[in-house]
Structure 1
Amino acid sequence: MFASLRVRNYRLFFTGQVISNIGTWMQRIAQDWLVFTLSGNNPIALGIAVALQFTPTLFLSLWAGVLADRVDKRRLLTWIQVAACSQAVILGVLDLSGIAALWHVYVLCFTLGVTAALEVPTRQSFVAEMVGRDQVANAVALNSSIFNMARIVGPAIAGFAITWIGTGWLFIANALSTVAVITGLVLMNPDKLFRVAAVPREKGQLAEGLRYVRRRSDLMTVMVLVLFVSTFGITYFSSLPIVAANVFHTAADGYGLLSTLVAVGTFTGAVMSARRGTKGRPRVRLMLVSAFFLGVFELTTAFMPTYLTFGLGLIPLGFATMTFLNTANALVQTSVSPEMRGRVMGLYVLVLIGGNPIGGPMVGWMANEFGGRSPFYIGGAVSALAAVVCAVVLIRRGGISWPVKRGLGLRVLKRTKV
């Protein structure tokens, strides 16, 4: 389960991420609550903040993938982390000084979005350089496990800390936690990285990456399904403060508890993915089935009548979400050529996060027009339907079948040649 931690460079990275991700989730909860407070509990304002944070991904993630293939990923990540640290410090100072306005938060959400658009494709493609191809699935799952462990700890701390000391100090705490990542990157031994030769700068490299994915039916299936599920289904993370405040009428601690319950499920899903990552390559059938149940659980949770039952419904939803995301990520990472990894991961990040500029305002609009629960049942229905459609398309193309003797699951019968 922890095979990739035998690699020193990855241990340094892992340790820094443990600390930094707790700070990241503390900031995310604090930022959402600050927007909600400054706007007078306006769901649309929260949707705008989400859109501003993720809009840069639409324009930068593909280019960031090209950049990751051209330059030293470790150095690039270091400078990106320095920029993210600066963003958190500025937001914290504005909040603590009492002069923070909604437009300040909007600007800094956009700034954070720029750093994330550059960081995520670089970090995703850097995983293989730290551990090698054979340990990618395990390392991806471990990354998710610490991310979701932080999702348990961070919101729990933030929800109560906001009521005691306000949101400003949480931004400062996140800035300090980022130093752990920078330290880990600096201490790595570059000679122990599983590097491939940097791709020389040439015209048409972005288009070359897109053509590479277009020729691969397996990659296309992952990209299309991730696009629909992330745009409509996984936006429920942005709906939680709306449900906490407007449906169940709780304060920041109530929002933090809902986020923690989601994280219980996502952390469990990440741990199970890490175990699977040591036993073999990820499978298309698991991705499709987990996407379907993600939709089913989200749809079911939407109609839970009480705060307690709603919160408990978030646990299996989180589990299905993380199983789907880890499987999709590992499928991409383990099936691409090393020299294409940055560009393919740039496209993957685009479809994963790029829908948020649409999904964020959409969530706010739906909650405002149809009630705080509506993003859950609409997103759940779309996710389940997308999984069924992708499965049917692949079956009709002869790419997968449903093996009766082996029970539930889809098996890849053939792979499109590159």
Structure 2
Amino acid sequence: MLKENRTFRMLFFSYGLSTLGDWFDFIAVSILLGFVWKVDPMTMALLPIAYAAPGILLSQFAGVLADRVNKVRMIMSMNTLQAILTLLLLAMPNPFWFLVVVALRSAASVFNDPAQQTLTRQIVPEHQLLKASAMNGAVLQLGKLIGPLLGGLVAAVFAPALCLVINASCFLLSNGFLFAIRKVENHLPRPSAEEQPLPYRQAWQEGWRIFLQSRVLLFSTIFVIVTSMAIQLADAQFPVIFREKLPEHPEMLGYTISVVGLGALATVTWLHRLQEIRSYGWVLGGGVLLIGIGFSWIGVFQPDDGMYWLLVPASLTGVGTGLTSVGGNYLIQKESPPHALGRVRGIMQSLTSATFIIAPLLGGVIMTLLGPSTAFLWVGLLIVVIGGGAILLQRWIWGKRTKDVAVATATVGSERVG
């Protein structure tokens, strides 16, 4: 696919570099706050909020914008802004201003996702959408796997500041690949008269109509919100449960996270071989089911069992992560009308981003009340129920996806003509 489609190849390499950079300085940012400034736990809790809050506030605006402007230029502008803000982090005098700049950088990154997804939908044939989603998913998992490991190594051997410089360089190198395809949208089919851009408010309302009238998109978003809430109850508490289970082997946390990444990478590589996903229930529900089994297994694990047994539930969690990440991206691209993909993506992203703020705080309370082991067990069982329920009720949840999209598109189209 990379050999056949030069435009996707350039976009893919650009996405890979920016993704690697994003994860490369993730550890450095944590080290600067936790070990250099030695901030208190409440200040540290503001870091995930700084990463997630811009998505709640700006995703819908970014989605509308992605459907209206030159997407390559939009990504290049945001990459440049992120590079500048990353370097600006080096000059921050205290944790407060540091977190402000992190939030501003996250706000810039919000605009990249709908633009990248929309452009992918335009330049990739429909029968290759699953391959494209799998390849992008593989890059994301590689970034999660390699970025923190290399970032932690560079931060330990040299300095955390070097990680920020490398990340800024990745953003600028990413723009180099995009520059080669900067005029690609001039050669794409132009919208017809009735598809000309609407005023912003009408375009935003149209995006919501498409979203609410599509059973697949609406029910999938509800499923993702419920699932994300459950997963985030425990996801941020991995250091806590490993500290309880294996206090003398902190390296097992790194090994486990790496195995999760490897399991996800192997899964998206396998999905790359398929032409399409015929059943969202088995892919999305099955993925969530595996994640729940992995969490519950970690909760009941005993050190006497042998610490390397923890890698088994980690691999199950990785497979589940791969299935849900690729399946979710494919669903949005497949089920959204091409002219409104950015808006639909932005709406779904804004709704799901809230879980990354609410659930970790609630998870901290649950861990304190029940203890890490019991909490992981019950949270895992809750996730199993959600995943298993999605498999059993998949016909009711997702129905016949092609028909739903056709109805939603036709309804909105008739409204625009009228």
Q: Normalising by structure 2, report the TM-score.
A: 0.84
The alpha-carbon deviation at position 116 of structure 1 amounts to 2.4
Q: Report which stretch shifted further, 190-199 or 378-387.
A: 190-199
Structure 2 CA distance for partners of 1:211 and 1:377, relative to 1, 3 Å: farther
Q: Report which stretch shifted further, 125-134 or 66-75.
A: 125-134
Could you tell me which residue of structure 1 aligns to residue 46 of structure 2?
A: 48
Could you tell me which residue of structure 2 aligns to residue 403 of structure 1?
A: none
| Contact residue 66 and residue 114 of structure 2 kept, 8 A | yes
Deviations 1:337-371 (A, max 9, x none): 11111111112222343321213433444445555
Could you tell me which residue of structure 1 aligns to residue 286 of structure 2?
A: 289
Counterpart-to-counterpart distance in 2, 1:378 and 1:39: 36
Counterpart-to-counterpart distance in 2, 1:266 and 1:86: 32
Counterpart-to-counterpart distance in 2, 1:235 and 1:129: 37
Deviations 1:148-195 (A, max 9, x none): 122222122123333222322111111111112111111115347645
Q: Secondary structure at the match of 1:384?
A: helix
Let me know the Cα RMSD of the aligned residues. Answer: 3.0
1:351 aligns with 2:366: no
Matches within 5 A, 1:11-410: 11-37=9-35, 40=38, 44-94=42-92, 99=93, 101-188=94-181, 190-191=183-184, 194=188, 197=191, 199-233=197-231, 238-243=236-241, 248-249=246-247, 256-276=254-274, 279-285=275-281, 286-306=283-303, 308-367=308-367, 370-372=370-372, 376-377=376-377, 379-391=379-391, 394-395=394-395, 397=396
Counterpart-to-counterpart distance in 2, 1:385 and 1:273: 25
Counterpart-to-counterpart distance in 2, 1:35 and 1:379: 29
Structure 2 CA distance for partners of 1:153 and 1:236, relative to 1, 3 Å: farther
Structure ID, larger Rg: 2
Could you tell me which residue of structure 2 aligns to residue 404 of structure 1?
A: none
| Contact residue 232 and residue 382 of structure 1 kept, 8 A | yes
Counterpart-to-counterpart distance in 1, 2:313 and 2:40: 25
Q: Please list every run of 5 or more consecutive structure 2 residues that lacks an aligned counterpart in the other structure.
A: 409-418
Structure 2 CA distance for partners of 1:271 and 1:398, relative to 1, 3 Å: closer
| Contact residue 233 and residue 376 of structure 1 kept, 8 A | no
Counterpart-to-counterpart distance in 2, 1:122 and 1:375: 39
Deviations 1:226-263 (A, max 9, x none): 11222331575533455566764579966544432221
Structure 2 CA distance for partners of 1:267 and 1:200, relative to 1, 3 Å: same
Q: Normalising by structure 1, report the TM-score.
A: 0.84
Identity of aligned residues (%): 16
Q: Secondary structure at the match of 2:197?
A: coil
Q: Secondary structure at the match of 2:111?
A: helix
Counterpart-to-counterpart distance in 1, 2:366 and 2:339: 42
Counterpart-to-counterpart distance in 2, 1:171 and 1:15: 20
| Contact residue 55 and residue 350 of structure 2 kept, 8 A | yes
Q: Report which stretch shifted further, 361-370 or 79-88.
A: 361-370
Q: Secondary structure at the match of 1:204?
A: helix
Could you tell me which residue of structure 2 aligns to residue 405 of structure 1?
A: none
Q: Secondary structure at the match of 1:70?
A: coil
Q: Secondary structure at the match of 1:188?
A: coil
Deviations 1:85-125 (A, max 9, x none): 1222122444xxxx5x3323321231122112222222222
Q: Report which stretch shifted further, 299-308 or 61-70.
A: 299-308
Alignment size in residue pairs: 397
Q: Secondary structure at the match of 1:203?
A: helix
Counterpart-to-counterpart distance in 1, 2:373 and 2:85: 32
Counterpart-to-counterpart distance in 2, 1:152 and 1:166: 20
Counterpart-to-counterpart distance in 1, 2:137 and 2:235: 16
| Contact residue 33 and residue 252 of structure 1 kept, 8 A | no
Q: Secondary structure at the match of 1:280?
A: coil
